[in-house]
């Protein structure tokens, strides 16, 4: 595959035998993974996190909600004779490792669903807005401005106050603003793509708009969406932590990393494990998502360094 | 270009008005403030009376019109919990938030951009790797955590900076820096990749061959080419900063608008929330406008037809 | 030679003698870091816990609570009930407000009339609506006439009813008065930067001097920051110290921890109607017996709470010392449930406001866990206070089809009387209670009218017994401790009402 000055991607290249071949970006992607150690690290981290989330009930040593006050705030590797609490217990005597493992579910759910939601909406709006232009574009861009003019925290609090705090609300709230980023970037890409030769060519032979969008434009636009998504996955987790700190996060007893970190801060000196492990979990996961984002950016579309 | 500006300004007005309506509706849907205003010992007669006096028994659109008419005069109502004009209270706190936002912005730009450029120059070196490592790490730590940790390190452990509050430059450093870290990291990365890209261009190689002062050329060309994405990012960042300093304000006891609004929302202090939103929304819209104008100036190819 | 010696002696003595009068001016400066939010210095319009901690620095009430919880004369030098509906107050004589205006009965009359003025929309109105009129007998004597005999008037006068100079408060606009208070208290307001700090300076006209000349209060909402500020020396004292951080403060070497039981009681109220399982008193008793209160106070509150029998503690008037908190007996609880026909258990929602009660969310989660062990499923819903208040106030609008719910609250017994708690949670007209019982209402009404203190006390104690043993109207929990951190240079005695009043904080 070659990428020329105007950004047109041609699937053709000359291989080692001098033959004209077509390669997929994904083949190249996987190949580069072997070379780029940090990207490999990132992918591995995300894989571990996803596995934890999916297999939580199986790999969790204990029930994350089971509390026993007499064993509150016990340090890692403490044992009550019956079993070992590998990461200790929290202030209600719940096994901390289990809380952490189940926490992946929320963090990922929030991250992935928010990304999915924002990504799809943003993609759609960006596509339609950029391709059709005119009045449609005008309306959507004003909508974008409206969303951007809205103070985010206010939005979050008001929504949570009306609907009540819950995982769904949290995802909705975080999505409300971020789809705009996808929309803008996609729109920008579409704007430049639509003037390209191959699109003009397709129009001239009578392809319908839908066909053009899905066949020619969408594939070239997916890359930035994926890149943004991988970066924002990490950002979503950080935002969730911030909302938990302000008291707007997922309500108890559901464990979330942000919630664990925020609740634990008052135990900082007496029970270091209650803050250290959630903090590490957050940092490593976000690190992973950022590394993967970087790698994807390098591989899929080097022009998009600006993201 | 001139007519474009006028068009955008008019749009801005409508935008702000729309925001106000939405906020008004949202707030009223979350429950009326009479219950919170009155003490826990009030009877239902007291509640009904207070409601009548404050005008909450009128239909929603009547309330909104009343609110809008006085807003035009600059009167956003009296704060329910403070007993003082709401807009004045918000304006009183605005300089603090502005100071913080601008400070964070300044830190992000002044530290982020040079570091990013330097990393690009020394691509692949240890310095570069460390830079990348630090930026990635900073973006991976929740803001409130960073803030709390920095207080513990600089104020308690080292004892060199005050632990909270607003005052001289010593009070300003930690909160502004803490607020800037995410943006600083992002800016550094952005500059780095922009620089690397520019460095690879053919015509740069040509200029280098000609022996011109390398660094100068790089900087100039890099900045010119990356102007648009950087300006976009900066504009968005400033907007985010203005509205998003709440966490920093709470941790550092900084007397800004964010803190005021969070407390006001949970007490259903409508006038304060509305005043704050108006101010924030105006700020955002202004910034967006400036960014778009800058866009148009920098790249005339982009058509706004 | 002799003259010189005498002169030297006189000089020496005059230097050694403390400057000024016998009541020497206080010295020094303290910096306090407080978590609460102060919204106004208008003494009559609003009421909140921060207000009741700050305003006594600037203003005086007729009576006051001593740190040990007892009540006594303050701005009034004596008081008595001249007839069941008339209370007479004799003021201290010859005193002036900080602006020089005289403190007299006219000021007293003006102050209460200002609170009762409907145009002011004062939140303190309901405390004083029992007042029919204020009579000025002579310059320093005022009589308060109540509509009905009301033994609750004196305790209320120990918290609110700040006396202000009439001319000043008549002359200025409300928004000016909110920031420029004039009173007779130990301090005057030197400077107030909202949300940031208050600077109190000694009032030269004060009859009741502050311990320290200058007191600066800084507002710090985040608890970890308060602790950091104390340890680093940026402040000398903090309130609302989270229990988990006590150890850090004690081991820091330059600060110590003081904790004291306060009359702030935590409890769980229930909406009691025919359709709910807890309509049956056995179920309510079971739910009480299923809770291991001492485990919660020990492990979650870290020893900073004390279980109570119903709603009050030892400093409350009407407290019945013979009543003990419910024992922890899950077996009996299960049996009671079965007797009432609920051996399979049941489920409901239970609400708690976010961030409002110390460790409330954690405690409620633990309680839910304890109920789960006897088969009762409680869905803990942490809500924003405003939303929750709306739901709770509408509790009676739920019809039989909508399930009842429970809610976790805490109430500060500022009046130090069980009557205050009954008003809030037990009587049929209570703002938050879900319990309606005519017999109990009658008992409370009768007790409230009883003017003889000893007889009234007995009546309250009997009500307490009936509530705990017979009626079981609520899930009783505990009273919280107030925890403070002080630097080594501060000397201070904790108050029984848990308040931190700057004028009482001294330097060693």
- Residue-range domains of chain C with CATH: 2-218+488-507 (3.40.190.10), 262-482 (3.10.105.10)
List, as ranges, residues 23-42 from B with C-beta within 8 Å of A. Answer: 23, 26-27, 29-31
**Same-domain pairing of A203 and A300:** yes
Mean of all residue pLDDT scores within chain C: 88
Greater model confidence, B210 or C78: C78
**Same-domain pairing of A210 and A231:** yes
Mean of all residue pLDDT scores within chain B: 77
Q: In percent, how much of chain B has pLDDT > 70? A: 72
Instruction: Name the CA radius of gyration of chain C, rounded.
Output: 26
Q: Which of B43-52, C219-228, C285-294, C436-445 has the lowest mean pLDDT?
A: B43-52
Q: What number of C-beta contacts closer than 8 Å exist between B and C?
A: 125
The pLDDT tens digits of the residues spanning C478-502 come to 998 999 999 999 999 999 888 999 9
Q: Which of A130-134, B143-147, B255-259 has the lowest mean pLDDT?
A: A130-134
Residue A241 pLDDT: 85
A278 pLDDT above the threshold of 80:
yes
| Residues in chain A within 8 Å Cβ distance of B190 | 305-306
Greater model confidence, C12 or C305: C305
- Interface residue B239 vs chain A (CB under 8 A): yes
List, as ranges, residues 180-239 from B with C-beta within 8 Å of C. Answer: none
Contact predicate B283/B116, CB 8 Å? no
CB contact under 8 A, C245 and A93: no
Q: Which of A170-179, B93-102, C48-57 has the lowest mean pLDDT?
A: A170-179
User: What distance lies between CA C448 and its chain's CA centroid?
Assistant: 20
- HEC string for C107-139: HHHHHHHHHHCHHHCCCCHHHHCCEEEEEEEEC
**Residue B142 three-state SS:** coil
Residues recorded for chain C: 508
C103 pLDDT above the threshold of 90:
yes
**Same-domain pairing of A130 and A30:** no
Please state the rounded mean pLDDT for residues C21-26.
Answer: 42
Residue B209 pLDDT: 54
C401 pLDDT above the threshold of 80:
no
Smallest CA–CA distance, residue B193 to chain A, in Å, is: 6
Please name the member of C193, C225, C423 whose beta carbon is closest to the beta carbon of B164: C225
* Residue whose token pair is 């409206």: A146
Residue C43: pLDDT band (50, 70, 90) is very high
**Same-domain pairing of A102 and A172:** yes
Please state the rounded mean pLDDT for residues C198-225.
Answer: 94
Residue C285 pLDDT: 94
Q: How many helices (H) and strands (E) does chain A have?
A: 12, 6
CB contact under 8 A, A92 and C300: yes
**Same-domain pairing of A69 and A3:** no
Please name the member of C247, C362, C386 whose beta carbon is closest to the beta carbon of A92: C362
Q: In percent, how much of chain A has pLDDT > 70? A: 80
Residue C19 pLDDT: 36
| Residues in chain A within 8 Å Cβ distance of C300 | 69, 72, 91-92
The count of structural domains within chain A is: 2
Which residues, including other chains, have CB under 8 Å from residue B58's CB and lie 6 or more apart? B66
Residue C403 pLDDT: 67
The torsion angles phi and psi of B143, rounded to 5 degrees, stand at: -60, -45
If we measure between CA atoms, which residue out of C396, C59, C85 comes closest to residue C203?
Answer: C59
End-to-end CA distance of chain B: 11
| CB neighbour burial string for C76-112, b if at least 16 within 10 angstroms, e if fewer | beebeeeeebebbbbbbeebbbbeebebbbbbbbbbb
Q: Which of A45-49, C40-44, C131-135 has the lowest mean pLDDT?
A: A45-49
Please name the member of C218, C220, C228 whose beta carbon is closest to the beta carbon of B155: C228
DSSP structure class, residue C410: E
| Residues in chain A within 8 Å Cβ distance of C245 | 266, 268-269
Measured CA to CA, the distance from residue B177 to residue B109 in angstroms comes to 11
The pLDDT tens digits of the residues spanning C230-242 come to 999 999 999 989 8
**Same-domain pairing of A93 and A44:** yes
Which tokens hold the place of B80? Answer: 């329910």
Smallest CA–CA distance, residue B58 to chain A, in Å, is: 21
Residue C253: pLDDT band (50, 70, 90) is confident
* Residue whose token pair is 């009557």: C419
A128 pLDDT above the threshold of 90:
no
Q: Which of B14, B17, B140 to mutate to test the interface with A (most CBs of A within 10 A)?
A: B140
Which tokens hold the place of A243? Answer: 């909302």
Residue A173: pLDDT band (50, 70, 90) is confident
Residue B298 pLDDT: 67
Residues recorded for chain A: 307
Reported as type and span, the H/E element at residue C238 is: strand C237-238
What CATH number has the domain bearing residue A124?
A: 1.10.3720.10
Q: Which of B268-277, C35-44, C435-444 has the lowest mean pLDDT?
A: B268-277
Please name the member of C222, C231, C384 whose beta carbon is closest to the beta carbon of B251: C222
Q: Which of C50, C222, C223, C432 to mutate to test the interface with B (most CBs of B within 10 A)?
A: C222
Residue A65 pLDDT: 82
> Which residue range forms the structural domain that includes residue A244?
38-304
Please state the rounded mean pLDDT for residues B143-166.
Answer: 91
Please state the rounded mean pLDDT for residues B157-186.
Answer: 90
| CB neighbour burial string for C42-54, b if at least 16 within 10 angstroms, e if fewer | bbbbbbbebbbbb
Residue A1: pLDDT band (50, 70, 90) is very low
Measured CA to CA, the distance from residue A86 to residue A97 in angstroms comes to 7
Residue C18: pLDDT band (50, 70, 90) is very low
| Residues in chain C within 8 Å Cβ distance of A161 | 384, 386-387
CB contact under 8 A, A247 and C223: no
* Residue whose token pair is 């909110």: C178
Chains that touch C (3 or more CB pairs under 8 A): A, B
The torsion angles phi and psi of C397, rounded to 5 degrees, stand at: -85, -10
Reported as type and span, the H/E element at residue B191 is: helix B169-200
**Same-domain pairing of A158 and A235:** yes
Please state the rounded mean pLDDT for residues C265-280.
Answer: 87
Task: Report the chain B residue with the minimal C-alpha distance to residue C220.
Answer: B253
If we measure between CA atoms, which residue out of A242, A244, A254 comes closest to residue A104?
Answer: A254
Residue A26 pLDDT: 60
B127 pLDDT above the threshold of 70:
yes
CB contact under 8 A, A158 and B23: yes
Please state the rounded mean pLDDT for residues B218-240.
Answer: 65
Kindly provide the residue ranges of all beta strands, DSSP E only, lying in chain A, ordered along the sequence: 2-3, 9-10, 12-14, 20-22, 78-79, 84-85
Please state the rounded mean pLDDT for residues A179-202.
Answer: 77
B204 pLDDT above the threshold of 70:
no
Task: Report the chain C residue with the minimal C-alpha distance to residue A162.
Answer: C387
CB contact under 8 A, A69 and C298: yes
User: What distance lies between CA C415 and its chain's CA centroid?
Assistant: 8
**Same-domain pairing of A4 and A59:** no
Residue B201: pLDDT band (50, 70, 90) is low
Which tokens hold the place of C382? Answer: 């942490």
DSSP structure class, residue A89: B
Which tokens hold the place of A66? Answer: 């089971």
Residue B212 pLDDT: 54
- Interface residue A157 vs chain C (CB under 8 A): yes
Greater model confidence, A158 or C99: C99
Greater model confidence, A219 or C11: A219
The pLDDT tens digits of the residues spanning C366-392 come to 999 999 999 999 988 887 777 787 778
| Residues in chain C within 8 Å Cβ distance of B263 | 37
Residues recorded for chain B: 305
| Residues in chain A within 8 Å Cβ distance of C369 | 65-67, 92
Residue B254 pLDDT: 94
A269 pLDDT above the threshold of 50:
yes
Greater model confidence, A276 or B63: A276
Greater model confidence, B101 or C256: C256
CB contact under 8 A, A252 and C366: no
Residue B164 pLDDT: 93
Instruction: Name the CA radius of gyration of chain A, rounded.
Output: 23
Residue B37 pLDDT: 58
> Which domains, and CATH codes, for chain B?
86-298 (1.10.3720.10)
- Interface residue A271 vs chain C (CB under 8 A): yes
DSSP structure class, residue C176: H
What residues in chain A have their Cβ under 8 A from chain B's Cβ atoms? Answer: 142, 145-146, 148-154, 157-159, 161-162, 234-235, 238, 241-242, 245-246, 258, 261-262, 265, 279, 282-287, 290-291, 305-306
Highest mean predicted confidence (pLDDT) among B83-87, B194-198, B262-266, C485-489: C485-489
**Same-domain pairing of A143 and A107:** yes
Q: Which of B123-127, B146-150, C25-29, C121-125 has the lowest mean pLDDT?
A: C25-29
Please state the rounded mean pLDDT for residues C348-358.
Answer: 83
Greater model confidence, B134 or B219: B134
Residue C413 pLDDT: 80
**Same-domain pairing of A183 and A84:** yes
* Residue whose token pair is 């309506």: B21
Please state the rounded mean pLDDT for residues C9-22.
Answer: 42
Task: Report the chain C residue with the minimal C-alpha distance to residue A91.
Answer: C300
Residue C294 pLDDT: 92
Residue A43 pLDDT: 86
- Interface residue B262 vs chain C (CB under 8 A): no
**Same-domain pairing of A73 and A26:** no
Greater model confidence, A235 or B144: B144
**Same-domain pairing of A121 and A102:** yes
């Amino acid at each position: 595959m070659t990428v020329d000055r105007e950004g047109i991607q041609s699937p053709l290249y000359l291989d080692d035998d001098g033959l004209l071949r077509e390669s997929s970006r994904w083949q190249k992607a996987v190949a580069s993974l072997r070379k780029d150690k940090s990207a490999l690290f990132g992918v591995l981290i995300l894989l571990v996190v996803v596995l934890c989330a999916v297999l939580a009930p199986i790999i969790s040593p204990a029930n994350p909600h089971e509390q026993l006050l007499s064993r509150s705030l016990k340090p890692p590797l403490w044992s009550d004779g019956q079993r070992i609490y590998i990461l200790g217990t929290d202030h209600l005597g719940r096994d901390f490792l289990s809380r952490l493992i189940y926490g992946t579910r929320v963090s990922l759910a929030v991250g992935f669903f928010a990304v999915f939601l924002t990504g799809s909406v943003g993609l759609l709006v960006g596509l339609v807005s950029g391709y059709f232009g005119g009045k449609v574009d005008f309306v959507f861009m004003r909508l974008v401005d409206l969303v951007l003019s809205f103070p985010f925290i206010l939005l979050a609090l008001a929504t949570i106050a009306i609907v009540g705090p819950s995982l769904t609300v949290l995802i909705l709230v975080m999505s409300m603003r971020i789809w705009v980023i996808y929309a803008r970037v996609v729109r920008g890409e579409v704007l430049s793509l639509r003037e390209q030769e191959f699109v003009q060519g397709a129009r001239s032979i009578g392809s319908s708009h839908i066909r053009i969008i899905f066949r020619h434009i969408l594939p070239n636009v997916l890359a930035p969406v994926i890149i943004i998504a991988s970066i924002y996955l990490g950002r979503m987790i950080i935002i969730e932590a911030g909302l938990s700190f302000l008291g707007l996060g997922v309500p108890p007893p559901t464990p979330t990393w942000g919630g664990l970190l925020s609740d634990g801060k008052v135990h900082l000196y007496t029970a270091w494990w209650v803050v250290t492990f959630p903090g590490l979990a957050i940092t490593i996961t976000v690190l992973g998502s950022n590394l993967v984002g970087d790698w994807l950016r390098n591989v899929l579309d080097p022009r998009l360094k600006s993201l | 270009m001139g007519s474009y500006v006028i068009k955008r300004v008019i749009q801005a007005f409508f935008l702000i008005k729309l925001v106000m309506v939405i906020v008004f509706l949202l707030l009223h849907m979350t429950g009326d403030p009479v219950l919170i205003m009155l003490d826990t010992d009030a009877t239902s007669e007291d509640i009904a009376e207070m409601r009548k006096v404050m005008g909450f028994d009128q239909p929603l659109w009547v309330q909104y019109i009343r609110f809008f008419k006085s807003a035009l005069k600059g009167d956003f109502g009296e704060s329910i919990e403070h007993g003082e004009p709401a807009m004045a209270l918000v304006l009183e706190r605005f300089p603090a938030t502005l100071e913080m936002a601008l400070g964070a912005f300044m830190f992000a730009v002044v530290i982020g951009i040079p570091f990013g450029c330097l990393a690009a120059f020394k691509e692949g070196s240890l310095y570069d790797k460390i830079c990348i490592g630090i930026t990635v790490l900073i973006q991976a730590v929740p803001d409130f955590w960073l803030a709390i940790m920095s207080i513990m390190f600089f104020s308690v452990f080292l004892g060199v900076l005050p632990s909270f509050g607003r005052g001289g430059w010593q009070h300003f450093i930690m909160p502004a820096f803490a607020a800037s870290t995410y943006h600083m990291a992002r800016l550094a990365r952005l500059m780095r990749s922009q620089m690397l890209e520019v460095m690879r261009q053919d015509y740069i190689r040509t200029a280098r061959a000609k022996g011109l002062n390398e660094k100068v050329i790089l900087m100039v060309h890099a900045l010119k080419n990356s102007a648009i994405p950087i300006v976009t990012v900066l504009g968005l960042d400033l907007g985010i900063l203005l509205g998003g300093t709440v966490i920093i304000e709470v941790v550092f006891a900084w007397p800004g608008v964010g803190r005021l609004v969070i407390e006001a929302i949970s007490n259903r202090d409508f006038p304060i929330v509305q005043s704050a939103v108006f101010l924030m929304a105006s700020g955002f819209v202004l910034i967006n406008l400036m960014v778009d104008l800058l866009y148009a100036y920098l790249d005339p190819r982009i058509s706004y037809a | 030679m002799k003259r010189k010696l005498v002169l030297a002696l006189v000089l020496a003595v005059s230097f050694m003698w403390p400057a000024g009068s016998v009541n020497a001016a206080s010295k020094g400066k303290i910096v306090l870091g407080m978590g609460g939010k102060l919204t106004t210095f208008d003494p009559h319009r609003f009421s909140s816990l921060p207000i009741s901690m700050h305003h006594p620095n600037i203003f005086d009430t007729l009576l006051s609570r001593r740190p040990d919880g007892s009540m006594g004369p303050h701005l009034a030098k004596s008081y008595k009930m001249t007839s069941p509906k008339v209370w007479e107050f004799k003021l201290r004589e010859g005193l002036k407000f900080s602006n020089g205006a005289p403190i007299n009965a006219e000021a007293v009359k003006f102050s209460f009339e200002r609170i009762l003025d409907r145009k002011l929309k004062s939140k303190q109105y309901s405390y004083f609506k029992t007042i029919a009129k204020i009579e000025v007998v002579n310059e320093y004597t005022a009589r308060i006439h109540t509509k009905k005999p009301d033994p609750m008037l004196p305790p209320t006068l120990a918290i609110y009813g700040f006396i202000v100079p009439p001319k000043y408060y008549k002359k200025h606009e409300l928004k000016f008065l909110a920031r420029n208070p004039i009173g007779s208290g130990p301090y005057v307001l030197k400077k107030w930067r909202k949300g940031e700090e208050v600077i109190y300076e000694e009032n030269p006209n004060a009859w009741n001097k502050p311990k320290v000349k200058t007191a600066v209060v800084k507002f710090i909402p985040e608890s970890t920051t308060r602790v950091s500020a104390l340890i680093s020396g940026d402040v000398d004292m903090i309130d609302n110290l989270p229990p988990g951080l006590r150890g850090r403060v004690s081991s820091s070497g330059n600060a110590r921890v003081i904790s004291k039981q306060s009359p702030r009681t935590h409890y769980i109220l229930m909406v009691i109607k025919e359709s709910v399982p807890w309509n049956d008193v056995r179920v309510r008793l079971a739910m009480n017996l299923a809770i291991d209160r001492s485990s919660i106070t020990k492990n979650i509150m870290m020893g900073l709470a004390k279980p109570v029998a119903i709603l009050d503690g030892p400093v409350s008037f009407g407290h019945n010392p013979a009543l003990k908190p419910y024992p922890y007996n899950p077996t009996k609880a299960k049996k009671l449930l079965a007797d009432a026909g609920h051996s399979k258990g049941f489920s409901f929602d239970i609400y708690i406001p976010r961030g409002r009660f110390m460790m409330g969310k954690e405690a409620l989660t633990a309680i839910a866990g304890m109920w789960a062990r006897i088969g009762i499923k409680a869905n803990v819903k942490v809500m924003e206070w405003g939303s929750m208040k709306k739901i709770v106030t509408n509790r009676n609008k739920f019809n039989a089809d909508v399930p009842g719910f429970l809610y976790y609250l805490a109430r500060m017994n500022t009046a130090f009387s069980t009557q205050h708690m009954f008003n809030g949670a037990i009587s049929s007209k209570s703002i938050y209670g879900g319990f309606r019982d005519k017999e109990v209402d009658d008992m409370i009404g009768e007790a409230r009218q009883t003017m003889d203190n000893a007889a009234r006390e007995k009546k309250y104690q009997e009500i307490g017994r009936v509530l705990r043993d017979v009626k079981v109207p609520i899930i009783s929990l505990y009273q919280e401790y107030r925890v403070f951190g002080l630097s080594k240079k501060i000397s201070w005695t904790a108050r029984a009402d848990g308040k931190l009043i700057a004028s009482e904080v001294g330097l060693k």
